[in-house]
Amino acid sequence: MSLLTDSDLRTKLCTVKGEEGNDKILIYPFSEDCLTPVGYDLRVGRLYSSSLHGGPFEIDDKSRIQISHGDTVLITTQEEIGMPKNRSVSALIMSKVSKVSKGLSHISTTIDPDWNGHLLIALNNYSRSTIELAVGEAFCTAVFF
């Protein structure tokens, strides 16, 4: 098992729903800006829930998720991920340093080899203030193996 770099991902990448293959990874919608040397930055989707405020809540492009001090939120990813049908790839979700430095930390999770759909990522706010995230903002990275 080895880490897939950006050049490895390009050979396995499918960006059009319905065209996934036995050995392709679907990322939809795909953004070239989100491809990193060691993975793909996942972006904030439109649905989230909060341990303090309930939910689920739906937000639009002009709104922001407000994550209160001490809160844990569950955020859906903007992207749908479809792992290869031959079950040859899995992934880990990693924190982004830019978010950790503000006080956010995600609860570690995986993408199983047979996963297909949006992801639900848990984030904790350990800072002393409210942190905001916008729809479409990169907030964690999927590292594929």
Q: What is the 3-state secondary structure (H, E, C) of 43-83?
A: EEEEEEEECCCEEEEECCCCCEEEECCCCEEEEEEEEEEEC
In this prediction, residue 19 carries a pLDDT of 81
Q: Does any domain span residue 27? A: yes
Would 57 be classed as within a structural domain?
Answer: yes
Question: Would residue 124 count as lying in a domain?
Answer: yes
Q: What is the pLDDT of residue 1?
A: 67
Report the distance separating Cα 65 and Cα 58, nearest Å. 9
The pLDDT value given to residue 108: 84
Report yes or no on 1 lying in a domain: no
109 vs 4: CA distance, rounded Å: 18
Range of the domain at 121: 6-144
CATH assignment at residue 83: 2.70.40.10
Integer CA distances (angstroms), 74 to 14, 44, 107, 127, in order: 26, 10, 10, 17
Backbone angles phi, psi at 73, to 5 degrees: -120, 150
Ordered per-residue pLDDT tens for the chain, 145 residues: 699 999 999 999 999 998 887 899 999 999 999 999 999 999 999 999 999 999 999 999 999 999 999 999 999 999 999 999 999 999 999 999 999 999 999 888 999 999 999 999 999 999 999 999 999 999 999 999 9
Phi, psi of 125 (to 5 degrees): -105, 105
How many domains would you assign to the chain?
1
In this prediction the pTM is: 0.94
**Which of helix, strand or coil describes residue 106?**
strand
Q: Within a domain: residue 106?
A: yes
